[in-house]
Every structure is written in C-alpha cells, then in structure tokens.
C-alpha cells in the first residue's frame, strides 16, 4: 500500500487500469481529468459487461462518504449506463457509504480489498 499511497492521482488510475487488464478486462480507457463526467476508467469485462470506475487516492485516515457514492451512482448508472460499477479507494468507506453502495450494486473497493486485489486476488464482480 505504501507504493499506492505515494502515487499521484493519474498514476493510481493507471495502476487500477492495469489491475483490470490483468484480470481479463478489455477496452480499458483511463479518462481522468476535469471532463471525465464522474468516471475515471471505462472498460469491458471478459464477458462483455460495461465497467465504470471511480478512483480516489485519499490518505488512509480519511473515508469515502455517502455523498461521494451517491454522486458516483448517478454518473455510473445514468450518464454511463454501466453494468459493473467500481469505486476504488485507498481509504475506508463510512458505513452509510457502504450501505448505499450495496443497495445500488456498486462494488466498494476499500483499502484492504485494494491491497488484496493488487497482490493478485480477483474481484468477484469481474469474474
């Protein structure tokens, strides 16, 4: 995790894009920047489902809150018509944020899960 904590935002997005490619995703595009319409990465799963990803490289003592998940939900489902939505963060999520993610079919990849994914574990939603 120390290596990810040292990355800038674009490097972190590229790292996540690399994990998607490693796990069989195709058409992986890092959007990034101010004109990304709330999505940092788009891709297709190995079986052709549309993926959108929001990446947040925050300090480990911060948390992803419910308004951030709600904003991503609108971008992922309404603007981008995603079938798989990943919110990947280098920090934890609040309980409310996790509840909204679960109710909305958003996969919350918190610090611990990100560490496992980076070490080679597969994300179930990508299988």
pTM, entire model: 0.95
Q: Decide if 84 contacts 125 (C-beta within 8 A).
A: yes
Task: Report helix, strand or coil for 108.
Answer: strand
- Looking up residue 57, the CATH number of its domain turns out to be 3.40.1350.10
Specify burial of residue 4 (Cβ count, 10 A radius: 0-12, 13-18, 19+): middle
From the CB of residue 23, how many other CB atoms can be counted at a distance below 10 Å? Answer: 17
**Domain, as residue range, for 9:** 2-126
Q: How many domains does one find in the chain?
A: 1
Evaluated on CA atoms 26, 31, 36, 38, the torsion sign reads positive
Spacing of C-alpha 53 from chain mean position? 4
Question: What is the mean pLDDT of each successive set of 10 residues along the chain, which is 127 residues long?
Answer: 91 97 97 75 96 95 96 92 96 98 97 96 93
Q: What is the per-residue pLDDT for 35?
A: 65
């Amino acid at each position: 995790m120390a290596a990810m904590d040292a990355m800038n935002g674009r490097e972190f997005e590229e790292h996540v894009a690399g994990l998607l490619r490693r796990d069989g995703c195709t058409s992986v595009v890092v959007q990034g920047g101010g004109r990304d319409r709330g999505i940092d990465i788009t891709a297709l799963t190995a079986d052709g489902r549309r993926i959108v990803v929001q990446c947040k490289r925050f300090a480990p003592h911060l948390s992803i809150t419910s308004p951030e998940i709600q904003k991503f939900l609108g971008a992922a489902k309404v603007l981008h018509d995603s079938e798989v939505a990943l919110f990947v963060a280098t920090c934890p999520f609040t309980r409310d944020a996790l509840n909204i993610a679960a109710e909305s079919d958003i996969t919350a990849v918190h610090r611990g899960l990100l560490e496992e994914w980076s070490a080679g574990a597969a994300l179930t939603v990508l299988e």
